[in-house]
Amino acid sequence: MKNKLFWKADWFVGLLVAVLFLFSANSDLMQSLERKAYDLGVRASSRTPSDKVAVIAIDDQSIANLGRWPWPRATQAKMLDLLAAGHAKVIGNTSFFFEPQVDAGLEYIYKIASLLDTSTLKNSPDPAHQAELAQLAALLQDAIQNLDNDQKLSASMAKANNVLLAMIFELGEPQGKPDHPLPDYVLRNNLTDVKDPAGLGVAGEVPLPAATVQFPIDVLGASAVGIGHLNTTPDVDGGIRTEPLVVGYFDQHYPSLSLLLAAKSLNLEPKDIQVNVGQGVKVGNLNISTDPSLRMHTYFYADRDGKPAFQVDSFYDVLTGKIPAEKYRDKIVLIGATATGVGALQVTPISSGMSPVLTLAHSVSSILKQDFFVAPRWGIWAQGGVFLAVALYLILLLPRLKAGIGAAITAASFVVLLATHYVLMTTQALWLQLMLPASLLLVGHLLLTTKRFLITEQGKIKSDADSAESNRMLGLAFQGQGQLDMAFDKFRKAPLDDSMMEVLYNLGLDFERKRQFNKAESVFGYMAEYNPKFRDLETRLAQSRVMSETVILGGSSGKSNESTMQLDRAGVSKPMLGRYQVEKELGKGAMGVVYLGKDPKIGRVVAIKTMSLAQEFEADELEDVKARFFREAESAGRLNHPNIVTMYDAGEEHDLAYIAMEFLKGKDLVAYTKPDNLLPLPKVLSIVARVADALGYAHTMNVVHRDIKPANIMFDMESDTVKVTDFGIARITDSSKTKTGMVLGTPSYMSPEQLSGAKIEGASDLFSLGASLYQMVCGKLPFEGNSMAQLMFRIANEPQTDILTVRPDVPPCVVAIINKALAKKVEERYQTGSEMAEAIRQCSASLQ
């Protein structure tokens, strides 16, 4: 029972929960939970941002005063001129300059210049015309210079010589080669100092690969001192917590804008940035540890004392001089949009809507201040060890603890896990993903305690109360298994109602089929106390009472030649033997009755031979006889031969042993041993040869029949089918004494060694077959006597009656076969059934 209910054990529930959590470790839900805990750790820590970083915001105030975004690039050129005059260290502009900005007026100027260039006035010989044309051309050139905003911005960038622009990669594994080579102003940002001892970059694992790139237009890109990417990699919940410091573009490596700004602020160039693939990035003396994809876990600085982490000034205020440009001396100035509807806001650990320019500020400060978080290389082993410890606690320890102690240990462990997580983040800037074991601990404890209450505690209450429904279901289960007494016991514990009456009625019928009429009477009597008018209950009850008084269960009424069960009696269900329904009686034998039966599940028709062992054998020998019965039935059941009856099953019903075997047409050969009803000699020889084949096969399987005689050989004249029956039956009765003193077996066909009690082998069956052949040829037995003792003496000591004195026309070869088969000494007989069969067939062929 324990094995069957192992899935209810606390340890199994703990193991199941641990396995489920292990498989959900990389699920979006669990990873989101880890990120939420990460965010709490970030907000719980406190660090001071770099004072070298300043932000000039393209905010709502600026747009309200300067007009809709995007503004003419000349406006941004003015800002660069101001910052250059204020001696800003480095300027990072997060605006994308991927397309040229052409004003409508400039387009018309170009058209006028083109028309003038092709005008006939250009070839006029009149000096006055030529002077007017020169003035007009100068005026157009001056207009172009004043209206070309890209040129103005490019000139301002070149003059400042400290402006960095942004580019964007489309992340993803490239499928081929790039469409076009990158321009020189992009290529000069390629990081050349790349160390990859493990070959991870060659394997395409790190850094993050890119398929395409968008970069600033030539006129602006050529004037920038550097171009860095502004790519982000959102987590499973859409939050921005990391920044890819390096992106791989085919065989090149490009830095992020934050990394390039930090390097420029330290007077370093891209060639001075060292990349350690799979580990981190080094800028001067700054070592930035990253994850294997070269992503930095950015530190996000919280507002302090009601003041923002970074001072954000309005673009308009700086442009109009309200805020002097001198404020930005030697600072890293970041220019970007914060206005509503301009750019996409980002979710970060400290804000649900942060402008990209502010995210960039946090990244630059994280690099310069070395404030990033680190997921250590050994973290995966630590996380796995903690998970294993929690799983073992749930599986092995918690089920053995009392509820109070278990709750205390679980609560303490949960607090330790959370505290470890926050202490490591706030003091060591280390991030260990401990939410998986913490969640396992909490959920596992709740499930185990809930299960213990619902199944263990409530289960005891229900079992004590003997729930009516559970007893009903248990009773039906016992009834389905044939344990009718236990079923009745469970049914009686359930209250009687109409549905239970139906169940009990079927149980009573099952007792009838098992010939246990006294128990059927008990069931029907119990039902009658509730409703005596139910169906034909009164008739069933009276019938069961009569049958219980007249029928001895498991056997006959004391005479072995009577039927072992009642058939075709009105009102009585057809009896069952094991799984077989008994249809009718086919015949009687010395030890029992043969019935026609049917397996209702598969519709197979069988012959069922019954043996009333309890009535035929003494009590001290009964157990040994039963053991021998099933042992011999098993041996015979292994035989598979066309001339041997197939045995399907064997069982016992109240000391009534039975064997279910192949149902055969035809009848035994006893009728053909009468002098006036003998079969033709060729037919006799054909039958005996096939029987010899069957015996030869059985002997090779170490099975000896022990009772070969015409009565145990079935023959169907119509289909010419021969089958040997009752293998192993004689073995059951060897050395046994029946209550009636009856000698089981047939001495007239027994071999001398069988009568003397010597070891029986296959040659004994061939002797019996020879005696049967003798009788079927001439209609008399080879040995006869006035008493059993005289008969047995003649078999053991005297030769058989010469068959020619009984039937003079018997062919010599038949006489020789009989004489050899009936030899007193075993070694003088046929040694195998196949040898005897061959001799018979040769004889038959010579007769033809």
Q: Is 593 helix (H, G, I), strand (E, B) or coil?
A: strand
Q: Which of 414, 416, 415 is nearest to 445 (CA)?
A: 414
Q: Verify cis geometry, omega within 30 degrees of 0, for the bond prior to 308.
A: no
User: Among 507, 523, 555, which Cα is nearest to 653's?
Assistant: 555
Q: What does the DSSP 8-state code read for residue 269?
A: -
Residue 413 CA to its chain's centroid (Å): 32
Q: What is the DSSP string of 710-769?
A: GGGEEEETTTTEEEE--TTHHHHHTT--BTT-PPPS-GGG--HHHHHT----HHHHHHHH
Give backbone dihedrals phi and psi of 624, rounded to 5 degrees, phi first.
-65, -40
Residue 407 CA from chain centroid, whole number:
33
Q: At which residue do the structure tokens 């009848």 appear? A: 667
Output the six-digit token pair for 56: 């000039």
Query: How far is residue 267 from each of residues 7, 26, 286, 337, measured CA to CA in Å?
Result: 67, 42, 13, 27
Report the DSSP pairing between strands 713-716 and 332-337. Answer: unpaired
Of 39, 59, 148, 707, catalytic = 707
Half-sphere exposure for 802 (CA within 13 Å, toward CB)? 6
- Cα 653 versus chain centre, distance: 43
Kindly tell me the sign of the dihedral angle through the C-alpha atoms of 336, 338, 344, 348: positive
Is there a catalytic annotation at residue 707?
yes
First CA to last CA across the chain, in angstroms?
Answer: 70
How buried is 797 (Cβ within 10 angstroms: 0-12 exposed, 13-18 middle, 19+ buried)?
Answer: exposed
User: Which of 307, 288, 308 has the alpha carbon at shortest distance from 298?
Assistant: 288
Enumerate residues 6+ apart whose C-beta is below 8 A from 663. Answer: 596, 605, 606, 607
Residues that are catalytic:
707
